Amino acid sequence: CLWLCLYAKLGELCVDPRPAVRKSAGQTLFSTIGAHGTLLQHSTWHTVIWKVLFHLLDRVRESSTTADKEKIESGGGNILIHHSRDTAEKQWAETWVLTLAGIARIFNTRRYLLQSLGDFSEAWDVLLDHIQSAALSKNNEVSLAALKSFQEILQLVSPVRETEKPDTPPAINVPVPILIGSVTATDLGRSFMRSDSIGERIGKYSATEPPVITDEIEDLDLWWAAWNSWFRIGSESTQPPLSFDKMTFIPSQPFLTALIQIFPALYQHIKTGFSMDDLQKLGVILHGAISVPISSDASPFILPSYTEAVLTSLQEAVLIALDVLQKAICIGSENMQVMYPAIFDQLLAFVEFSCKPPQYGQLETKHIANAKFNQIQLFAPAEWVALNYVPFAERSLEIVVDLYQKTACHKAVVNERVLQNLIKTLRMPLSLKYACPSESTWKLAVSSLLKVLSIGLPVARQHASSGKFDSMWPELANTFENFLFTKSVPPDNLSIQEFQRNENIDVEVVQLISTEILPYANFIPKEFVGQIMTMLNKGSIHSQSSSFTEAEIDIRMREEFSKMCFETLLQFSFSNKVTTPQEGYISRMALSVLLKRSQDVLYRYIEDERLSGNKLQK
């Protein structure tokens, strides 16, 4: 009873009108419970949770949401009030942060004891409700601290006797990501830090090491309640407002980063029941979070250096979340592996950001694509700035290629036409080519296409009779056409050496056609073969840009590309290895194209001779 009276009185002081008293009382209350909580009886713990702590949290939340927003004057003398505490609202926000963090820590360190009280699930729901309410607060300090508290209750340890349980929880098997930014200077105990690299972060999450839990059935209900709270926080915070003005609240990048960083640890508890519907919900949150712009005032501190094409912390967190899911699916049951196509769809949506950045509702933003543009735009008057999505999109594409190389033969990947979707996504940067926001994008796209086709084409041939790849061939033909004969023109400052390197890329594409497609014509639709032959004929004719100087024409006529196209036509026109009607068909088609080409050359020769008035050299 003495302890209960002490806690009750400290709880009263935690809502004292004086901020300093509230702060000291809160620190004393939670440190006392942490140090002497083992002395309490079960019935006393029940009273402390419901009558002291939750009652305190209700009062603090109410006071914080109704506090005055007017600035408080210093009051003379030598007392100065920091700008982060110069309103009653900000002072109550500090109290809210301290109270929620303290209660979350109690639920973590005393969870084994609290579970034995009988109504732990109800208490858990109340705590989640408070975390959700705080996370959706328009106060950045409170919302970020709420996510930190959410993270706190996910860090569970093996059940031990309460007398042996330490006040500070040891590390769990699957480490929880550490939030970014600082909530308060001293009150929350642990500061927030950033990892050095995405590789280190991904390495922290091993889907093969689930945390130890106390009661599997009951815990699953608790974790699914936590998932539902996380989804509600994510969906409400990332949903674009219907209208925008100067008072419109848009979540900060540190908040969104912290939100996404919670998922890997949460997923470890719910992965056995994680369904396709849940994956779709996750995709909505990830897409919404990554689409949120940043304030122009904060952009110099969040955007990467002008000279570096690196990911932001939020972009890293999104890719880590998908990586955790991907690894779990890989070692999971067949029911889980049907999620592969959905993972591809999500990543391919991110790949499109390289050429078509996402829009956040109707909000007008300034887009950043390269270093020169960065330096101009960051100092221009703009309310909101969209992130540079090129590094993020390119990293997503690398992940897609790696994942496809591992799963190309999987039944779900074949049935859901992942290869066709991949080619369709790559068609945009390949068609734009020189018009891409970043030159690296189309080069990565074509190298990715070559890697994917080297794996995917044999799979397509194996399933030729099933019809599952029938719609892929026209998409591939159009992609080849749009890339090899792009409408975009090289920039004026493109050097001859760079032009030749780009031409070599075109040659690689024709080589793939020569080695991976045409030799297997009996497995390929005739319409597709006809399109390929037409392209080879078109490519075998020297082409040049009217902007080239006379000195550059010989080099910039894409002679190597034309030569490769012509040699490929010859190779399949006079093949001596015709063993099937289909192979004979492709030889006849190639020969027909060559004859048409010869006819065109002769016609042009006669026409040029007639126009010149003199006999031309033969």
**CATH code, domain with 460:** 1.25.10
Instruction: Based on the fold, state whether residues 583 and 447 are members of the same structural domain.
Output: no
Instruction: Based on the fold, state whether residues 497 and 520 are members of the same structural domain.
Output: yes
Instruction: Based on the fold, state whether residues 387 and 522 are members of the same structural domain.
Output: no
**Is 218 contained in some domain?**
no
**Is 365 contained in some domain?**
yes
Taking the C-alpha atoms of residue 366 and residue 386, their distance in angstroms, rounded to an integer, is: 6
Taking the C-alpha atoms of residue 576 and residue 349, their distance in angstroms, rounded to an integer, is: 46
**Is 279 contained in some domain?**
yes
Taking the C-alpha atoms of residue 410 and residue 105, their distance in angstroms, rounded to an integer, is: 44
Instruction: Based on the fold, state whether residues 20 and 144 are members of the same structural domain.
Output: yes
> What is the amino acid identity at position 594?
L
What pLDDT was estimated at residue 596? 72
**Is 238 contained in some domain?**
no
More confident residue, 258 or 590: 258
Domain-terminating residue out of 122, 156, 190: 156
> Lowest-pLDDT range, 331-340, 350-359, 419-428?
331-340
**Is 280 contained in some domain?**
yes
Instruction: Based on the fold, state whether residues 551 and 435 are members of the same structural domain.
Output: no
| C-alpha distances out from residue 389 to 97, 392, 561, Å | 33, 5, 32
**C-alpha torsion 543→547→550→552, nearest 10:** -70
Instruction: Based on the fold, state whether residues 338 and 413 are members of the same structural domain.
Output: yes
* Number of domains, the chain: 3
**Is 219 contained in some domain?**
no
User: What are the pLDDT digits (tens) for 133-168?
Assistant: 999 999 999 999 999 999 999 986 544 444 444 444
Taking the C-alpha atoms of residue 59 and residue 51, their distance in angstroms, rounded to an integer, is: 12
Average pLDDT in the chain? 80
CB 519 within 8 A of CB 576: no
| C-alpha distances out from residue 132 to 146, 231, 234, 279, 462, Å | 7, 10, 10, 21, 51
Taking the C-alpha atoms of residue 51 and residue 12, their distance in angstroms, rounded to an integer, is: 11
Instruction: Based on the fold, state whether residues 528 and 470 are members of the same structural domain.
Output: no
More confident residue, 162 or 525: 525
Residue 314 domain boundaries: 249-369+381-483
User: What are the pLDDT digits (tens) for 259-281?
Assistant: 999 999 999 999 999 999 999 99
What pLDDT was estimated at residue 567? 87
Instruction: Based on the fold, state whether residues 466 and 612 are members of the same structural domain.
Output: no
More confident residue, 27 or 67: 27
CB 192 within 8 A of CB 181: yes
Instruction: Based on the fold, state whether residues 29 and 104 are members of the same structural domain.
Output: yes
Instruction: Based on the fold, state whether residues 301 and 319 are members of the same structural domain.
Output: yes
**Is 231 contained in some domain?**
no
Domain-terminating residue out of 109, 126, 156: 156
Taking the C-alpha atoms of residue 286 and residue 265, their distance in angstroms, rounded to an integer, is: 16
Query: Does pLDDT of 213 surpass 60?
Result: no
Question: pTM for the full model?
Answer: 0.82
Q: Which one-letter DSSP state was computed for residue 208?
A: T
Instruction: Based on the fold, state whether residues 419 and 356 are members of the same structural domain.
Output: yes
Taking the C-alpha atoms of residue 589 and residue 594, their distance in angstroms, rounded to an integer, is: 9
Average pLDDT over residues 232-250: 85
**Is 511 contained in some domain?**
yes
Domain-terminating residue out of 108, 136, 156: 156
Kindly indicate the confidence band of residue 597, based on its pLDDT and cuts at 50, 70 and 90: low
Instruction: Based on the fold, state whether residues 460 and 564 are members of the same structural domain.
Output: no
More confident residue, 495 or 401: 401
What pLDDT was estimated at residue 86? 52
Kindly indicate the confidence band of residue 562, based on its pLDDT and cuts at 50, 70 and 90: confident
> Lowest-pLDDT range, 137-146, 249-258, 525-534, 580-589?
580-589
More confident residue, 377 or 350: 350
| C-alpha distances out from residue 551 to 219, 503, 541, 542, 557, Å | 75, 18, 20, 16, 11
